[in-house]
């Protein structure tokens, strides 16, 4: 991508949400644009990150055997009356039509997915079933804050599983925990698993996946060495204790909940009367689980967990592009043309090998501006071509996460980039 042709550039304007690191860097970096409190447009760079995160999630959910669907955001009121949540869910957006009917804007999809799967599943032989979607959710949050961490409109992956027995549900649930940890780790995050507070009292399984960052709303006691964590309010351990899983150090810290999984039991099969026939001929209400990951929140959590004072430091797996190629100007016209053509050649060589390059080819920006933008946008690797580097037939190479820079021969760039991106 040639940066000069992209409509959405970096900006110096601070967002309303100045306290929030993700709001600041995502807005100033040209990833998102706030339309109103809790509602964002996703610009080309931001959308690429969201798509990369979504691809990782899809791969992990598909590996669990779940099938992808797309359910409606505009939902009939009847399902919500059936479950009782039309009146009990405070953050439900209710939409009146001009003919006097009312609809719900989906904050979650049990009211749609339960009767939908019921249409097709009649016998225990049709189970288990797991379906998921990546979709926009709507919640009338009292306070939409912290940038994309808490919106009124936001992206979520929600999965629902259906089982003929509690045992079958529990086995799937354990596999889902592993898939979630794998998902977050592939996104460059070190997630902690918290047994949610309701769990102990309701005897229902529930786990939260927390990303450690000072921007988090939740206080957790987390192990520094493994994924173990507890909610601070119910913690059975304290900060000076050793981790019960691995003996590591436990610390009291803040976390952002990036995912949440629940044992729904028969909470939804009951009101919809979703039964299957069992092997012995009897009938049984199905057991359900639900599994959410906030996709837009996850992008915000990555920024919160991985940045410095100058901008974002994207993990390679979710960076909108791999390389930030910068061609610097020269006062001499011929030399300027030489720099641009050398940059174009590197750009094309890399792009042809499916390396994703953002080329800052602007002719009217200073070197300082270009460097500041590269740090703000936060791509994993920065390559600079200038009069100085071309004298050495080289480019200047600097990884965003490191401080050293060095010269790499133009002829070796493709090979070295291949090494740099190898773990992908």
The Cβ-side half-sphere exposure at 394, using a 13 Å CA radius, reads: 12
The answer to whether 154 contacts ligand ATP (rule: CB under 6 A) is yes
φ/ψ region of 280 (left if φ > 0, alpha if ψ in -120 to 50, else beta) reads alpha
Which is closer to ligand ATP, CB of 34 or CB of 284?
34
Which is closer to ligand ATP, CB of 296 or CB of 306?
296
Query: Distances from the Cα of 190 to the Cαs of 5, 35, 182, 225, in angstroms?
Result: 36, 31, 10, 10
Which is closer to ligand ATP, CB of 146 or CB of 389?
146
The answer to whether 398 contacts ligand ATP (rule: CB under 6 A) is no
| Cβ at position 135, least distance to ligand ATP in Å | 11
Which is closer to ligand ATP, CB of 264 or CB of 313?
264
Which is closer to ligand ATP, CB of 294 or CB of 329?
294
| Cβ at position 138, least distance to ligand ATP in Å | 9
d(CA 191, CA 60): 15
| Cβ at position 287, least distance to ligand ATP in Å | 18
The answer to whether 257 contacts ligand ATP (rule: CB under 6 A) is yes
d(CA 121, CA 127): 7
**Candidates 179-187, 288-296, 368-376, 378-386; binding stretch for ligand ATP (CB under 6 A):** 288-296
Which is closer to ligand ATP, CB of 264 or CB of 417?
264
Which pair of tokens denotes residue 117? 């799967």
**Candidates 81-89, 177-185, 292-300, 394-402; binding stretch for ligand ATP (CB under 6 A):** 292-300
| Cβ at position 256, least distance to ligand ATP in Å | 8
Query: Distances from the Cα of 333 to the Cαs of 259, 329, 337, 366, in angstroms?
Result: 54, 9, 6, 16
**Candidates 147-155, 225-233, 375-383, 392-400; binding stretch for ligand ATP (CB under 6 A):** 147-155
CB contact burial 104-134 (16+ within 10 A = b; e otherwise):
bbbbbbbbbbbbbbbeebeebeebbbbbbbb
- Among 150, 154, 133, 134, which residue's Cα sits nearest to residue 142? 150
Which is closer to ligand ATP, CB of 199 or CB of 292?
292
d(CA 22, CA 297): 10
**Strand 323-327 to 357-360 pairing:** parallel
263: helix, strand or coil: strand
Contacts of ligand ATP in 124-143 (CB under 6 A): 139, 141
**Candidates 22-30, 71-79, 255-263, 313-321; binding stretch for ligand ATP (CB under 6 A):** 255-263
| Cβ at position 200, least distance to ligand ATP in Å | 17
Q: Could you tell me if 376 and 311 are in contact, meaning their C-beta atoms sit under 8 angstroms apart? A: yes
Binding-site member from 30, 271, 292, 378 for ligand ATP (CB under 6 A): 292
The answer to whether 229 contacts ligand ATP (rule: CB under 6 A) is no
Task: Give the CB-nearest residue to ligand ATP.
Answer: 294
Query: How many other C-beta atoms are found inside a 10 Å radius of the C-beta of residue 4?
Result: 13
Which is closer to ligand ATP, CB of 125 or CB of 178?
178
| Cβ at position 102, least distance to ligand ATP in Å | 22
Main-chain dihedrals φ then ψ at residue 293, nearest 5 degrees: -135, 125
Q: SS3 helix, strand, coil % of the chain, rounded to 5?
A: 35, 30, 35
Binding-site member from 46, 259, 289, 315 for ligand ATP (CB under 6 A): 259
Q: Could you tell me if 140 and 12 are in contact, meaning their C-beta atoms sit under 8 angstroms apart? A: no
Which is closer to ligand ATP, CB of 198 or CB of 418?
198
Give the ranges where 70-165 is alpha helix by DSSP (H).
Answer: 77-83, 85-88, 110-120
Contacts of ligand ATP in 100-119 (CB under 6 A): 108
The answer to whether 85 contacts ligand ATP (rule: CB under 6 A) is no
The β-bridge partners of 386 are none
First to last CA, the chain: 20
Which is closer to ligand ATP, CB of 305 or CB of 325?
305
Binding-site member from 34, 260, 269, 284 for ligand ATP (CB under 6 A): 260
d(CA 31, CA 321): 12
Binding-site member from 30, 147, 294, 378 for ligand ATP (CB under 6 A): 294
The footprint of ligand ATP (CB under 6 A) covers: 108, 139, 141, 150-151, 154, 156, 257-260, 292, 294, 296-297
């Amino acid at each position: 991508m040639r940066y000069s042709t992209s409509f959405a550039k970096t900006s110096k304007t601070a967002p309303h949400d100045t306290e929030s690191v993700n709001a600041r860097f995502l807005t100033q970096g040209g990833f998102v644009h706030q339309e109103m409190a809790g509602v964002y447009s996703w610009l080309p760079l931001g959308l690429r990150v969201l798509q990369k995160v979504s691809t990782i999630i899809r791969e992990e959910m598909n590996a669990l055997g779940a099938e992808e669907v797309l359910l409606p955001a505009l939902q009939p009121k009847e399902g919500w009356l059936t479950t009782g949540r039309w009146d009990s869910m405070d953050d439900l957006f209710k939409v009146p039509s001009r003919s006097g009917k009312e609809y719900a804007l989906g904050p979650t999809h049990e009211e749609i997915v339960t009767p939908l799967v019921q249409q097709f599943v009649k016998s225990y032989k049709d189970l288990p079933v797991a379906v998921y979607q990546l979709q926009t959710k709507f919640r009338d949050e009292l306070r939409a804050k912290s940038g994309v961490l808490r919106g009124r409109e936001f992206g979520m992956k929600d999965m629902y599983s259906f089982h003929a027995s509690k045992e079958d549900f529990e086995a799937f649930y354990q596999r889902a925990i592993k898939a979630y940890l794998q998902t977050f780790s592939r996104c460059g995050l070190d997630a902690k698993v918290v047994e949610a507070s309701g769990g102990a009292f309701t005897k229902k399984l529930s786990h939260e996946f927390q990303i450690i960052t000072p921007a988090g709303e939740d206080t957790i006691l987390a192990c520094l060495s493994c994924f173990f964590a507890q909610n601070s309010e119910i913690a059975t351990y304290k900060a000076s204790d050793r981790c019960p899983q691995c003996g590591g150090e436990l610390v009291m810290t803040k976390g952002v909940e990036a995912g949440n999984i629940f044992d729904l039991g028969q909470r939804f099969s009951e009101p919809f009367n979703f039964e299957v026939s069992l092997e012995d001929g009897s009938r049984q209400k199905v057991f359900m689980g639900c599994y959410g990951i906030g996709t837009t929140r996850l992008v915000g959590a990555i920024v919160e967990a991985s940045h410095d004072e100058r901008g974002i430091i994207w993990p390679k797996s979710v960076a909108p592009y791999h390389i930030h190629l910068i061609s610097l100007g020269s006062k001499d016209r011929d030399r300027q043309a030489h720099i641009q053509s050398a940059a174009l050649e590197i750009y094309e060589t890399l792009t042809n090998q499916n390396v994703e390059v953002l080329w800052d080819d602007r002719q009217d920006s200073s070197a300082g501006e270009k460097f500041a933008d590269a740090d703000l946008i936060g791509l994993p690797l920065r390559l600079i071509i200038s009069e100085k580097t071309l004298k050495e037939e080289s480019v200047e190479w600097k990884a965003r996460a490191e401080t050293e820079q060095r010269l790499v021969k133009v002829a070796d760039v493709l090979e070295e980039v291949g090494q740099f991106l190898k773990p992908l």
